[in-house]
Structure 1
Amino acid sequence: MNQDYIVPNNWSIIEEGFEIDKVKSSESLFSIGNGAMGQRANFEEQYSGNTFQGSYIAGVYYPDKTKVGWWKNGYPQYFAKVLNAPNWIGINVVINGEDLDLATCEIKNFRRELNMKEGWYSRTFNVILKNKTEIKVKTLRFLSLDIDELGAIKYEVTPINSDAKIIFKPYLDAGIENEDTNWEEKFWETLDIESENNEAFIVARTLKTKFSVATFMKNNILIDNIKANIEPTNVKKGESDISFIYEIAAPKNQTVAIEKLGGYTVSTNHNENELIKAAKQVLEKGTTLGFNALLELQKEAWAKIWEMSDITIDGDVKAQQGIRFNIFQLNQTYLGKDSRLNIGPKGFTGEKYGGSTYWDTEAYCIPFYMATKDQTVARNLLEYRYNQLDKAIENAEKNLGFKNGAALYPMVTMNGEECHNEWEITFEEIHRNGAIAFAIFNYYRFTGDYSYIPEKGLEVLIGIARFWHQRATFSTQKNQYVILGVTGPNEYENNVNNNWYTNYIAKWCIDYTYEQIEKVNSDYNSDYNRIVNKVNLTKTELDSWKQVANNMYFPYSEEHNVFLQQDGFLDKELVKVADLDKTQRPINQKWSWDRILRSPYIKQADTLQGFYFFEDHFTKEQLEKHFDFYEPFTVHESSLSPCVHSIQAAVLGRMEQAYTFYLRTSRLDLDDYNKEVHEGLHITSMAGTWMSIVEGFGGMRIKNNTLHFEPRIPSQWKAYSFKINFRNQIIKVEVTQHETQFSLEGKTPIKVFVFDKEILVEPNNLVKI
């Protein structure tokens, strides 16, 4: 049974009524971010119930020493983690001598809302404290997109049944620990605490990585919405925290509020000796504008984002809410302004997976960012990997003994070093190299910008091709090249031989790299000479690559007419998911690992992931055969799985199935399908939700430098629409049950194909099909 306490709404995530066992889930679901920082939806006031405190700063991490049962050669020394950062949101509240704590008082009319259209989070509720005082509380909070080092809170209290003495205690706290620390270590040391008037600053530094951060706040008291010029009656400094105390006598029905500006300045962006100075400048900017003007700017900034990235769905509120939630969280996590940053699977909503970079970025996120932003955003994501190429080469040499510049990109990373410590993933889930090469191909296919390849991308491709060449083994028995001891995308099979997806993408990587070397030699000769000299590439080496690619082994079943996921797949007891006792699901929470590994159950699209990437290499009949064979064994216990199946079901015209998968991917967190949303959201798979509509239902593809569409629509919808920024031309697609409309923002007509029929779309001229 999935959770269903989130109120369906087109533009907001809403919770009505306070349920103590939903607090941690809601802290994830109502998270806010602005690309530079983010936070779980923790209460500002103290809360003695079960909570997961979390504030995070993009790019600030710590190498938490690896903890394993026994050490294996090549294990990474540490698992890099995005750190739980100093907390600036705290405002403890005391009413007539009693602390406000939602775990200990009677709560009425509790409502919280995450307004995705305008980019803010609010709560309203009435409480009756143990001292019988009733108050009404209203809070509103946002992280500014315009000034991305700044957040703002307005916290209002109104006494309902009597006069009240209200005490606000806003604070900063750098004595923070990660929920997922391996060794209960402290990750921060406090260097300095300062305060002046209504402002306070704590400078803290991470141990080992030496990131310095100034956490800051400025407070402002309002009475009936008019600034009251009240100074703190007391300032309390601890070893790693500071709090102000404001006391206000409030008559019954008078609203008293505190406005709190806060945030972080970081040594990655400022001189570490001038962080407080930088923080004061941020506060001055915020104070000059004021809370209301900051909020208006926030609404305008989000309006601009939605103008390009919104997907509308008419006639299905839950589906609409789901896709907007996904698009909203992707934009809160990464806006593409800084090529040093990337997209962690949990974004700013939790600590699982360390907040690090996975292959999800290349396989799932880049298409979303290419189509909904300027192409420089996607290029920044590609440059992130180029900047870490030396570390990938070091990784292959240190952990696998590979030579000659072979590059193995890490499964999990912050700075290019591998920091994942499960051997069956660290050493064996090598298909991630293929996703990075595919992203380079995909970027050029979509943008038409070839310049990245001669400037930077070809070096990455050569490192990856060298890796596959050395990782393949010649089998004298098969007289072909095989790839042994791997884990494919389906992590419910470890240490298998000849995972079809891995072998296929390895061959493709070598072939694609070979083609690009020839193209760069022909069209960008000075770049070619520079690169060949830098990496010592020879014709003999290229010839040996081609031997591997041309003679790669792919396991195949003549009986079923399908490529086998790996050599031993048919040795398993092939019981379909439909015949599995529902009480055994999810198997990753009910079964031992040994039992899972011996089962035929597929965590996520594996062979079908290859059919998704390389769709044009296969016929629709082949796709159908493979879909019908593998889908019945897929348990979709990875967030990355349902979107691929949704796209392929749509291609096959199975719209009911496509819709079911779409709803699962779009509402994975809202409905908590995997019973783990309290740990944080599945940010990277949210891009797959976007793909489910644009590539699945919309049938959008790029073929021969041209947009192609095969629009379909679920029977549950009246209409849907989306926009694509294709090579700086913005085309809008609107699909109803009866027709598809195309319109163009721009000055130059664009040619598109709809079910292989050529259509000319001209500016300001609606084309109906």
Structure 2
Amino acid sequence: MNQDYIVPDNWSIIEEGFERENVKSSESIFSLGNGAMGQRANFEEQYSGPTFQGSYIGGVYYPDKTRVGWWKNGYPEYFAKVINAPSWIGIHVLVDGEALDLNTCTRVENFRRELNMKEGWYQRSFTAYLKNNKTIDVKVTRFLSLELDELGAIRYEVTPKGDDLTITFSPFLDSGITNEDSNWDDKFWNTTRVASDGNQAFIEAHTMKTNFETCTFMECHLEYKGMTQSKPMGTEERELWVGHGYEQKVDKGTTVTFYKYGGYTVSRNHKNGDLVGAAKKVLDKAQAKGFDGLLEAQKKAWAGIWEMSDITIGGDIKAQQGIRFNIFQLNQTYTGKDSRLNIGPKGFTGEKYGGSTYWDTEAYCIPFYMATKDHHVARNLLKYRYNHLEKAIENAKKLGFNNGAALYPMVTMNGEECHNEWEITFEEIHRNGAIAFAIYNYYRYTGDYSYIPEMGLEVLIGIARFWHQRATFSKQKNKYVILGVTGPNEYENNVSNNWYTNYIARWCIQYTLEQLEKVKTGYKEDYDRITGYTKLKKAETDEWKKVADHMYFPFSEELGIYLQQDGFLDKELVTVADLPRTQRPINQKWSWDRILRSPYIKQADVLQGFYFFEDHFSIEDLEKHFDFYEPFTVHESSLSPCVHSIQAARLDWMQQAYQFYLRTSRLDLDDYNKEVEEGLHITSMAGTWMSIVEGFGGMRIRNDKLSFRPRIPEEWDSYSFKINFRNRILKVHIDKSGAHFELEGDHEMSIRLNGERVVLQPVSKTTAK
């Protein structure tokens, strides 16, 4: 049974009623971020119940030493951790001397939280009955500023009921924090200075080993009956903690309001010795605008984001809520401002998966950012990989490859591999293919070829060299094979000839050879520079071609399908439908040995290849492979349902497509995988966007132009989305009567709709059925 306490709403995530067992899940679901930092929705006041505290700073990490039973050559020395940063949100509250703690209150009524996605703020309200028989109404509003991305703001309102009360606010900063997933319980932070200055306070700390210097800061004031109290009544400084005290006698029925501004300045963006000075400048800007001014700026910034990225769905409120939640979290996680940053699988919502970058970015996220932002945002994601090319070459060299072969990491913060499970680190090499595919996909969509001669060709050469060396010639098969791999389906380890891996390896080589010829013809200076730097000769590329031309693909003549890998049909082929619900999810119920011997597929594998290379296969091919593999797929990866939704929509199996869409869009809201308390599945959220735009909308690039084959689920009245295609803004609206297009700009655009050419005129609606 999935969780179902989130109230359906078009623009907000809402929880009504206080249930202690939902606290950790809600801390994930109601998380906030602004691209530079983020935090779980922890309570500001004291909470003695189970909680998962989490505040995170973009790009700040710790290299937690690898913990394995025995060492293997090539193992990464560390697993990168997006570390829990010093916390600035804390405000302990006393009511006539009694601590406000929802875990110990005698009763909590009217509890409500709301994450307003339209305007970018989070709010809690409740009535608390304390053990000293005092009662208060509380309303707390919080947001992380998009305009000033080093700043967050909190407004904490308390109203006594029944009695005049003395309310004490104790705001604090705390650097005595730890990571729940620490390998060795190492100390991640070294706090060097704790300081108070009037109503401001600062903690300076740096990360151990990586030496990221940070300043966590706050400034507070209290307002009551038109009067402002800025100077704290008292200050307490400890080794890892600094707090202030504010006290106010409050009449019953009257509200006292406490404001807290806080955040981080970091050496990534400022000189080390000037972090406190930089923090003071941020606080000056905050005071100049005030809470209401900052909130208005927040609403305006989010209005701009939604203007381009919103997807509307008519007639299905849970589907609408799901897609907006996904789009909201994607925009909270990555804004595209900083090419040094990337998109972590958990974003700023939890610690799991450690490093900030997986192949998820290239396979799932880039299409979303290309279509909803300026193309430079996606280009920055590709630049991130180019900047790490030398590290990718080092990674491959550690595993025995040479001559500039590049193996991009499975998990990374700085380009260095920092994932330490052998079946992933050494074997899930298909990640290289996703990076090459993203280069192809970027040019296909944006028309910006400049990335390839400037940066991308070097990346492609390193990847092609890796595949050439990784393949082995089999005399028995008279083909090149790729042994000992793990495909996207991580429930199969150390297999030979994973179809997806072999197929994308061949494609990478072929695509690199094509781009070498194209750059040689049109960008001779870049071609000479790159081939000179890489020492690339024709004799080498001839060897690449030989591997690509003679790659082996496992195939069943009897079934007429490609096999996921050698030996797949040797398994006991019991479908998921015949697997008792009590055994699900198998990754929490079964031994790893049992999972590896089973036919069950964690996520799309062969079908992932059919998604990437759709033009290579007929619709009949897709149907045959979907029919065979989907019944064995347990979708216990967040990356799986979106691909299945897109493929089912292409087959016009709309009920299946719709069910897969609901699963991907509400994966966290409904907690399908029973793990949302660990954090959200940020990168798969981009797959939700693809499920609508590429799945139901049928959007493709065909012959350098946009093409649509729209379909609509029976449960929907309509849906609409906008895309930025080569700096042309196109709004697509689909309802039961057909497809409707609205083009912005001054020039017409021709598209394909259901195979027919349609010419769109700007600033006017074009309708076609």
TM-score range, shorter chain: over 0.9
Query: Counterpart of 1:331?
Result: 331
Query: Counterpart of 2:279?
Result: 279
Query: Counterpart of 1:709?
Result: 708
Query: Counterpart of 2:267?
Result: 267
**Aligned 1:43-58 pairs, distance under 5 A:** 43-58=43-58
Contact 1:347 1:355 in 2 (8 A): no
Amino acid at match of 2:760: V
Query: Counterpart of 2:211?
Result: 210
- Given the alignment of the two structures, is residue 87 of structure 1 paired with residue 61 of structure 2, yes or no? no
**Aligned 1:388-427 pairs, distance under 5 A:** 388-398=388-398, 400-427=399-426
| Deviation for aligned residue 1:754 | 0.3
| Deviation for aligned residue 1:518 | 0.4
Query: Counterpart of 1:663?
Result: 662
Contact 1:669 1:677 in 2 (8 A): yes
| Deviation for aligned residue 1:2 | 0.3
Contact 2:355 2:412 in 1 (8 A): no
Contact 2:326 2:665 in 1 (8 A): yes
Query: Counterpart of 1:342?
Result: 342
| Deviation for aligned residue 1:186 | 1.2
What SS is found at the alignment partner of 1:321? helix
What SS is found at the alignment partner of 2:3? coil
Contact 1:647 1:696 in 2 (8 A): yes
State the Cα deviation string for residues 11-38 of structure 1 (Å, max 9, x = none).
0000000000000000000000000000
Amino acid at match of 1:326: N
State the Cα deviation string for residues 27-84 of structure 1 (Å, max 9, x = none).
0000000000000000000100000000000000000011112211111110011110
Amino acid at match of 1:456: M
What SS is found at the alignment partner of 2:486? coil
| Deviation for aligned residue 1:229 | 2.6
**Aligned 1:720-739 pairs, distance under 5 A:** 720-739=719-738
Amino acid at match of 2:175: A
Amino acid at match of 1:362: E
Query: Counterpart of 2:625?
Result: 626
RMSD of Structure 2 on Structure 1 (CA): 0.6
Contact 1:480 1:553 in 2 (8 A): yes
- Given the alignment of the two structures, is residue 768 of structure 1 paired with residue 764 of structure 2, yes or no? no
What SS is found at the alignment partner of 2:83? strand
Distance 1:443 1:559 in 2: 38
Query: Counterpart of 2:69?
Result: 69
State the Cα deviation string for residues 272-326 of structure 1 (Å, max 9, x = none).
1000000000000010000000000000000000000000000000000000000
Query: Counterpart of 2:161?
Result: 160
Amino acid at match of 1:592: S
State the Cα deviation string for residues 102-160 of structure 1 (Å, max 9, x = none).
00001010000000000000000001101111000000000000000000000000101
Amino acid at match of 1:552: M
Query: Counterpart of 1:173?
Result: 174
Q: Structure 1 residues 402 and 129 mapped into 2: Cα distance closer, same or farther (>3 Å)?
A: same
**Aligned 1:346-745 pairs, distance under 5 A:** 346-398=346-398, 400-745=399-744
Bigger shift: 70-79 or 203-212?
70-79
Distance 2:136 2:355 in 1: 39
State the Cα deviation string for residues 390-410 of structure 1 (Å, max 9, x = none).
000000011x21110000000
Query: Counterpart of 2:223?
Result: 222
Bigger shift: 347-356 or 464-473?
347-356
Distance 1:736 1:8 in 2: 22
| Deviation for aligned residue 1:195 | 1.4
Amino acid at match of 1:713: I
Q: Structure 1 residues 623 and 227 mapped into 2: Cα distance closer, same or farther (>3 Å)?
A: farther
What SS is found at the alignment partner of 1:353? coil
**Percent of aligned pairs with the same amino acid:** 72
What SS is found at the alignment partner of 1:487? coil
Amino acid at match of 2:117: M
Query: Counterpart of 2:139?
Result: 138
Distance 1:73 1:48 in 2: 45
Contact 2:79 2:355 in 1 (8 A): no
Distance 1:143 1:745 in 2: 32
Distance 2:229 2:397 in 1: 63
Distance 1:431 1:457 in 2: 18
Contact 2:232 2:244 in 1 (8 A): yes
Query: Counterpart of 2:151?
Result: 150
Query: Counterpart of 1:28?
Result: 28
Contact 2:9 2:321 in 1 (8 A): yes
State the Cα deviation string for residues 204-242 of structure 1 (Å, max 9, x = none).
100000001000000010114x34234211100000110
Amino acid at match of 1:727: R
Distance 2:589 2:256 in 1: 51
Amino acid at match of 2:364: Y
Amino acid at match of 1:753: R
Bigger shift: 251-260 or 647-656?
251-260
| Deviation for aligned residue 1:355 | 4.3
Query: Counterpart of 1:195?
Result: 196
Amino acid at match of 1:211: F
Distance 1:26 1:758 in 2: 48
Distance 2:90 2:353 in 1: 26
State the Cα deviation string for residues 380-436 of structure 1 (Å, max 9, x = none).
0000000000000000011x2111000000000000010000000000000000000
Distance 1:705 1:418 in 2: 36
Contact 1:340 1:384 in 2 (8 A): yes
Amino acid at match of 2:466: F
TM score, norm. by length of structure 1: 0.99
Distance 1:362 1:668 in 2: 21
Bigger shift: 247-256 or 361-370?
247-256
What SS is found at the alignment partner of 2:257? strand
Distance 1:623 1:227 in 2: 69
What SS is found at the alignment partner of 1:760? strand
Contact 1:346 1:355 in 2 (8 A): no
Query: Counterpart of 1:748?
Result: 747
Contact 2:167 2:247 in 1 (8 A): yes
Contact 2:11 2:118 in 1 (8 A): yes
Contiguous gaps of at least 5 residues in structure 2 = none
Bigger shift: 759-768 or 227-236?
227-236
Contact 1:145 1:298 in 2 (8 A): yes
What SS is found at the alignment partner of 2:339? coil
Structure 1 runs (4+) greater than 2 angstroms displaced: none
Distance 2:761 2:193 in 1: 61
Contact 1:37 1:348 in 2 (8 A): yes
Distance 1:536 1:647 in 2: 42
State the Cα deviation string for residues 229-284 of structure 1 (Å, max 9, x = none).
34211100000110001111111111111100000000000001000000000000
Contact 1:707 1:753 in 2 (8 A): yes
Distance 2:517 2:690 in 1: 32
Q: How many residues align?
A: 767
Distance 1:125 1:370 in 2: 41
Amino acid at match of 2:259: E
What SS is found at the alignment partner of 1:180? coil
Contact 2:486 2:495 in 1 (8 A): yes
What SS is found at the alignment partner of 2:731? strand
What SS is found at the alignment partner of 1:228? strand
Distance 1:602 1:6 in 2: 30
Contact 2:220 2:230 in 1 (8 A): no
Amino acid at match of 2:474: S
Distance 1:236 1:243 in 2: 5
Contact 2:172 2:244 in 1 (8 A): yes
